[in-house]
């Protein structure tokens, strides 16, 4: 079973406060295996950690993380690494594994040791992870009879984010600022017509973002700077029907894409007064190109001849790192210059998350 295919299919079929205690179960695993791939230059200031998955010759995905280009395969089973965090010498990877009953289970690897976070009786997925002190927070969702529940797991203990009546809730990203936890995603109803609406939570308190010029909207990334909350996503334009990249600052909408082609935003970061949004622009021929908007001004990361995508972004000082994948495989752009992490092809490896750790 291809896990990413299942997740995409589920999203298509369906179109992110009561807490309860759960004791995570340990699953046996063959343990991590480290192999050398393309190594990033040693003059990079931070250690660069990435996570994602590699597809094998039988199209089975295996969760993997990379440190400065060296790959550590976390499992030989059908798995995917979706987010990564580093605390001291400990490396945490949140992801998913395929269960024998065709469900998907949220899992956490700490230094290669796998622990189940959700149980195999339901289909669940993780969409992001952060650490606050020694606490591990994983945002995601699970399918329950009649609805989809947005979930925040703190050290394996489940908190239901779905306090919006009968709507389905899909968290898509999580960040931390000081002692505050921010989550973003979207809601839908079972009305039978598209009605996605971007939403975010601050410490469990939800705020729906205004649709404005959109018929529907989805939020993918969130960050906070001082008292300001920035959410990146995209919406369907009411007039043209195209997907338009957008970010919201304190609920105010700022369009990034032109409304004549499909544009999507995947990650947002703020440094000083500058707002950076990484995403994708699709042209009329169907080619997707990784792009960066700085204060609304677009620059291309991919050359536009072959598909390329952004998935994560981070700063080390004034250096901006953007992770994603292109036709050749997993890639990191540093200040717009590409460094290939793998050189297979884009269907065989993909990056989901990035973290920069000062040496």
Query: For residue 302, what is the domain's CATH number?
Result: 2.120.10.30
Please tell me which residue, 280 or 303, carries the higher pLDDT value: 280
Strand-pair partners of 322: 313, 333
Rounded CA-CA distance 131/94 in Å is 11
Rounded CA-CA distance 290/269 in Å is 16
Token pair for 270? 């703020």
Phi and psi dihedrals of 41, rounded to 5? Answer: -55, 145
How many Cα neighbours within 13 Å face the side chain of 249? 16
- Note the pLDDT of residue 45: 77
Percent of the chain residues topping a pLDDT of 70: 85
Look at the chain and report how many structural domains it folds into: 1
Rounded CA-CA distance 328/290 in Å is 14
**Do 325 and 346 form a contact (C-beta atoms < 8 A)?**
yes
Per-residue pLDDT of 308-317, as tens digits, reads 999 999 999 9
- The domain in which residue 106 lies consists of 3-358
Per-residue pLDDT of 174-225, as tens digits, reads 999 999 999 999 999 877 778 999 999 999 999 999 999 999 999 999 999 9
Res. 20 pLDDT band, cuts 50 70 90: very low
Mark residue 303 as left, alpha or beta (left: phi above 0; alpha: psi -120 to 50; beta: remaining): alpha
Q: What is the mean pLDDT of the chain?
A: 86
**Do 216 and 235 form a contact (C-beta atoms < 8 A)?**
yes
Q: Which pTM does this prediction carry?
A: 0.86
């Amino acid at each position: 079973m291809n896990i990413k295919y299942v997740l995409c299919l589920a999203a298509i079929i369906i179109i992110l406060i009561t807490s309860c205690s759960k004791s995570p179960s340990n699953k046996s695993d063959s343990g991590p295996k480290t192999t050398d791939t393309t190594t990033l230059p040693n003059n990079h200031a931070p250690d660069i950690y990435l996570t994602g998955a590699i597809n094998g010759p039988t199209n089975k995905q295996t969760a993997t993380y990379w440190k400065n280009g060296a790959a550590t395969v976390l499992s030989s089973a059908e798995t995917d690494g979706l987010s990564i965090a580093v605390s001291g010498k400990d490396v945490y990877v949140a992801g998913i594994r395929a269960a024998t009953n065709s469900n998907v289970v949220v899992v956490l690897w700490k230094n290669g040791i796998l622990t189940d976070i959700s149980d195999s009786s339901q289909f669940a997925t993780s969409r992001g992870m952060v650490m606050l002190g020694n606490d591990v927070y994983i945002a995601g969702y699970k399918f329950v009879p009649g609805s989809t529940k947005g979930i925040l797991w703190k050290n394996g203990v489940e908190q239901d984010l779905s306090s919006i009546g009968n709507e389905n809730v899909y968290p898509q990203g999580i960040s931390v600022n000081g002692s505050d936890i921010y989550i973003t995603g979207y809601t839908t109803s079972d009305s039978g017509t598209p009605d996605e609406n971007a939403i975010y939570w601050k410490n469990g308190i939800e705020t729906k973002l205004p649709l404005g010029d959109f018929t529907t909207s989805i939020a993918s990334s969130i960050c906070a700077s001082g008292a300001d909350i920035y959410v990146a996503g995209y919406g369907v334009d009411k007039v043209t029907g195209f997907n338009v990249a957008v970010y919201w600052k304190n609920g105010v909408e700022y369009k990034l894409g032109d409304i004549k082609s499909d544009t999507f935003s995947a990650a947002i970061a703020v440094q000083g007064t500058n707002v950076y949004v990484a995403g994708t622009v699709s042209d009329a021929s169907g080619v997707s190109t990784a792009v960066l908007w700085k204060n609304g001004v677009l620059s291309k990361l991919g050359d536009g001849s072959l598909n390329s995508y952004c998935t994560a972004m981070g700063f080390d000082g004034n250096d901006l790192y953007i992770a994603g994948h292109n036709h050749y495989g997993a890639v990191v752009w540093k200040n717009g210059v590409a460094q290939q992490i793998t050189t297979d092809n884009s269907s065989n490896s993909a990056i989901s998350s990035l973290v920069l750790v000062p040496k």
